[in-house]
Amino acid sequence: MKKTGAQLATFALEQIGVTRTFGIPGVHNTELYDELNKSKQITPTLVTHEMGAAFMADAMSRTGDSIGTLAIVPAAGATHAASGIGEAYLAGIPMLIISGGIHTESGHHYQLHDMDHHTLLSPITKGSFHIRSHAEVIPTLYAAYQLAMRGEPGPVFVELPYNIGNFIGEVESMPTFQGLEPQPRFDQTLVEQAAQLLVNAKQAGLYIGWGAVACEKELVELAELLNAPVATTLQGLSSFPGNHPLHTGMGVGAYAVPASEKAFAQCDVMLAIGARFGEIPTGSFSMKVPENLIHVDINPAVFNTNYPAKVAIEGDAEKVVPALLEAVKRLSPQGSQADVRAVIAKEKQAYRDEWLAHDSGDRVNPAMFFNALREQVSDDTIVVADDGNHTYLVAELMPIHGARRYISPTDFNAMGYCVPGVIGAKLANPDTPVVGVVGDGALLMTGMEMITAVRNNLGVVVFVFSDGELSQIAQAQDIPYNRKTCTVLHDFKVEGLADAVGAEFVAINSASDINAGIKQALELAAQDKAAYVDVRVDYSKRTRFTKGIIKASLKRFALKDQVRIVSRAVVRKVTG
Ligand SMILES: Cc1ncc(C[n+]2csc(CCOP(=O)(O)OP(=O)(O)O)c2C)c(N)n1
Ligand SMILES: [Mg+2]
């Protein structure tokens, strides 16, 4: 049969369940865009910048049922999208990136957008494919999907050259997709060993990452059986319900909330699932992990890297966790005798009270804001953060009540995620409330993308934490430098941005505006209107995370550098 590459690609994408693509068309892929537009299943979605497209696709994969997919132009489209591809890669999020490619048979050099994408993207993709013939289009996309979804998920790049995408070629058949191959099996004897360790523990503790996001029910049961406190990574904040009495917070130690520090103080066996002990959730590797570490992950490369494991179980958490739960049950565990729940409840309350007691002057106290937000949004609301001080405020002060209800940049740590992330999450979950919390600096990166929400009548709310600074870095500069080099922003009017993109605008200037401001914004969202809310936030109190991580980082310096930094700080404190 005779088909264009664009027709074949659209068929393959339909077969693997793609519902949306994100990107900006160019001469190399207008034929693909035309086919996508004709598809009954797929909606091609125009964005403002390909970085936004990649963050939207990432958010769709994190919160939805179909794989986030990009349809972009070669070269400039790929480099613009690279931030979002990198974020997905380090976070283990599946993504398909389909770019056009130069004409492979024209004989011409110096064609438009001519570059080697495969080398450029190799460190931030699981693999890449350069399609060479019409017959390869469908099998290549199936192979790319399989690669993106199996093992630790991640982005996969496919280049569809101009002459294949746009021109007709001969194919023998259009094979249907036969489904993903199963994940590899795990070793049951290791599961039995892990169960024994957990049951023999004086105080077991759980440390949960995004890799366990599909195991909420079993993890709750396991934690309850063992009477074990549960901490999460930043990315995995939603992998265990934040309102469960055994939930403590992000990380374990002095950089974590006090509930996490105290409840884990006696922990002698830790079960880590779908977490790889990266820098952020371990407080710059200051987290203390007991010798008896049971580490479950689908990616064996994470074992024994930062923390040695007593038992390492390679496997899909969705399979391993139920098996582990059954194995623990068979051993009739007594569970820890400590009153873990009381400690957690008391420490959580004390920490919240400490924040509420902080004098924020005429600005908005973050704890008051998050108390009100938590009260006004439903349990299933998806919260999207960006990267900055506000991220850790969310982590410490905004309990997340359900799986996949919190997303943000983490290890790759690309600012600019929130606004497109909100859009991707809303497109994937049209009936679920979606709210964003973004710093004013990150807003300047991708805030114009809100026009995509307006164009698609998406009822979303983005709360802008306006403090006038790139605060997470300004705070880190504070003590060692006593200078805010390049971290003070120029005055910026969120209202002007809202006006420019056609979004609604709400202002929360002080404590008395909080309840009404949140209510008004949520009401606008319920009427399918996108709203920016300018929150004049008070950042004068540091998060535990920021204080902890600054200390932990300083400790890692050699003595001569510590002396240099401390002396400079003292001199500058005196001389200004
Ligand atoms: C693309 C990118 N550039 C720079 C950074 C470094 N960085 C991390 S947090 C941060 C400050 C963010 O400022 P803002 O968005 O205003 O959030 P705030 O910390 O004030 O809440 C910066 C500059 C980064 N993570 N990503
Ligand atoms: Mg800021």
User: Each residue of 410-454: pLDDT tens digit?
Assistant: 999 999 999 999 999 999 999 999 999 999 999 999 999 999 999
Q: What is the pTM of this model?
A: 0.97
pLDDT at 554: 83
86 is written with which tokens? 């990198």
Q: Of ligand 1's atoms, which has the minimum distance to the CA of residue 386?
A: 15
Angstrom CA distances, 90 to 84, 208, 529, stand at 10, 17, 33
Of all helices (H) and strands (E), which one includes residue 136?
helix 134-149
Residues in a beta bridge with 297? 314
Pocket test for ligand 1, best of 413, 415, 462, 464 (most atoms within 8 A of CB): 415
Mean pLDDT of 202-216: 98
The whole-number average pLDDT for the span 192-206 is: 98
| Pairwise CA distance, residues 261 & 245, whole Å | 15
CA atoms in the 13 A half-sphere facing the CB of 380: 8
DSSP 364: B
Residue owning tokens 């987290």: 287
Decide: 369 in ligand 1 pocket, CB within 6 A.
no
Residues 6+ apart with CB under 8 A from 289: 252, 270, 272, 277, 307
- Determine how many CB atoms are found less than 10 A away from the CB of residue 37: 12
Q: Spell out the residues 6+ positions from residue 491 whose beta carbon is closer than 8 angstroms to its own.
A: 468
Segment 482-489 shows an average pLDDT of 92
Question: What is the atom index within ligand 1 of the atom nearest the CA of 444?
Answer: 15
Q: How far is the CA of 300 from the centre of ligand 2 (A)?
A: 38
- The continuous run of DSSP H or E covering 394 comes out as helix 389-397
pLDDT of residue 277: 97
Could you identify the atom of ligand 1 that is nearest to the CA of residue 387? 9
In the block, residue with structure tokens 């209800």 = 405
Strands (E), 52-209: 68-72, 95-101, 127-130, 155-161, 168-170, 204-208
DSSP reduced 3-state for 377: coil
What are the pLDDT digits (tens) for 64-78?
A: 999 999 999 999 999
The residues with which 247 forms a beta bridge, in sequence order, are: 230
Classify the C-alpha dihedral 131-137-143-148 as positive or negative. positive
**pLDDT at 573 (0 to 100):** 84
End-to-end CA gap in the chain: 77
* Ligand of minimum distance to the alpha carbon of 419: 1
Q: What is the pLDDT of residue 221?
A: 98
Q: What are the tokens at 498?
A: 């809202």
> Of 481 and 149, which is predicted with more confidence?
149
Any ligand 1 atom below 6 A from CB of 467: yes
pLDDT for 445-483, tens place per residue?
A: 999 999 999 999 999 999 999 999 999 999 988 878 888
- DSSP assignment of 508-544, as one string? E-SGGGHHHHHHHHHHHHHTT--EEEEE-B---S--H
Measured in Å, residue 40 CA sits from the centre of ligand 2 at: 42
SS3 437: strand
% residues pLDDT > 90 (the chain): 90
The pLDDT of residue 303 is: 98
H helices present in 273-337, as ranges: 317-330
Residue 87 CB–ligand 1 contact under 6 Å:
no
- pLDDT at residue 209 in the model: 98
268-297 as b/e: b if 16+ CB within 10 A: ebbbbbbbbbbbbbbbbebbebbebbbbbb
Is 160 within 8 Å of 32 (Cβ atoms)? yes
Interval between CA 62 and ligand 2 midpoint (Å)? 25
Q: How confident is the model at residue 575 (pLDDT cuts 50, 70, 90)?
A: confident
Percentage of residues in the chain with pLDDT exceeding 70? Answer: 100
Whole-number pLDDT of residue 543: 97
d(CA 523, CA 237): 27
Strand partners, 435: 383, 461
pLDDT band at 567 (very low <50, low <70, confident <90, very high): confident
What average pLDDT does this structure show over 142-153? 98
- What's the confidence (pLDDT) of residue 559? 87
Mutate which of 80, 369, 387, 538 for ligand 1? The one with the most ligand atoms within 8 Å of its CB, which is 387
pLDDT digits (tens, 9 = 90+) for 248-299: 999 999 999 999 999 999 999 999 999 999 999 999 999 999 999 999 999 9
Q: What is the pLDDT at residue 486?
A: 93
Say whether pLDDT at 563 is over 90.
no
Ligand 1, atom nearest to 467 Cα: 20
The rounded distance, in Å, linking the Cα atoms of 533 and 526 is 15
Q: Probe ligand 1: pick from 83, 391, 470, max atoms within 8 Å of CB?
A: 470
pLDDT tens-digit series, residues 330-381? 999 999 998 999 999 999 999 999 999 999 999 999 999 999 999 999 999 9
Cα dihedral 284, 286, 290, 296, rounded to 10, equals -10
Rounded Cα distance, 9 and 442, in Å: 35
Checking if the pLDDT of 572 tops 90, the result is: no
Confidence tier at 506 by pLDDT (50, 70, 90) = very high
> Does ligand 1 lie within 6 Å of residue 390's CB atom?
yes
Q: Is the CB of 447 under 6 A from ligand 1?
A: no
pLDDT of residue 184: 87
Helix (H, G, I), strand (E, B) or coil at 293: strand
Per-residue pLDDT, averaged over 528-537, amounts to: 98
Atom of ligand 1 nearest to the CA of 390: 21
Q: H or E segment at 422?
A: helix 418-428
CA dihedral 477, 483, 489, 490 (to 10 degrees): 180
Judged by its nearest atom, the ligand closest to the C-alpha of residue 415 is: 1
Nearest CA to ligand 1 atom 3: 415
Q: How far is the CA of 491 from the centre of ligand 2 (A)?
A: 11
Residues whose CB is under 5 A from ligand 2 (ion)? Answer: 439-441, 467, 471
- Residue in the structure block whose two tokens are 């972009």: 72
